[in-house]
């Protein structure tokens, strides 16, 4: 029990205080607060959380993020809520993206037509790169 810390006062002095929901409950000797030990679960690498949030802000849908990063779209939705990320309203366009290796990315930038009249973001995606492209000025 010495490794347990009270979530309220950070004290390491606790006594067992029953079982609730199948989990051991503790009472802090210092402040009297009752708490349970957090359920051990699988934690996602922060790298993927940041990438998912970046993609969301750029207008990529939850399902597309799921396919690209291999994390659940529900997890992405939960991260968006948790961190209060708001994507700008985009009704006139939808960004396009490409997954390229380093050589393909270099070839893409050698063609001047690929970089004119559009905004782009390049982000690392494992051993490849993701190029997100959207038109800067849309003609009606």
Return d(Cα 62, Cα 19) in angstroms, integer: 38
Measured between its terminal Cα atoms, the distance across the chain in Å is 67
What is the chain's pLDDT, residue by residue, as a tens digit (140 residues)?
446 788 888 888 999 999 888 888 999 999 999 988 766 666 778 889 999 998 888 778 899 899 888 899 999 999 999 999 987 776 566 677 888 999 999 999 999 888 887 778 888 887 889 888 876 555 54
pLDDT of the residue at 136: 57
Would you say 78 and 84 are in contact if contact means Cβ atoms under 8 Å apart?
no
For residue 99, the tally of other CB atoms under 10 A from its CB is 13
Question: What is the structure's pLDDT at 1?
Answer: 40
**CA–CA gap between residue 105 and residue 23 (Å, rounded):** 51
Is the distance from CB of 79 to CB of 45 less than 8 angstroms? Answer: no
Helix 62-69 / helix 73-83 crossing angle, nearest 10 deg:
110
């Amino acid at each position: 029990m010495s490794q347990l810390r009270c979530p309220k006062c950070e004290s390491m002095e606790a006594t067992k205080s029953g079982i609730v929901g199948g989990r051991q409950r503790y009472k802090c000797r210092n402040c009297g607060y009752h708490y349970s030990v957090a359920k051990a679960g699988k934690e996602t690498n922060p790298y993927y959380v940041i990438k998912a949030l970046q993609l969301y802000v750029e207008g990529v849908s939850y399902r597309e993020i799921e396919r690209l990063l291999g994390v659940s779209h529900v997890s992405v939705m939960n991260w968006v809520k948790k961190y209060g990320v708001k994507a700008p309203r985009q009704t006139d366009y939808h960004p396009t993206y490409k997954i390229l290796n380093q050589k393909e990315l270099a070839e893409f930038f050698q063609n001047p037509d690929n970089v004119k009249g559009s905004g782009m973001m390049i982000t690392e995606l494992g051993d490849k790169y993701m190029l997100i492209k959207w038109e800067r000025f849309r003609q009606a």
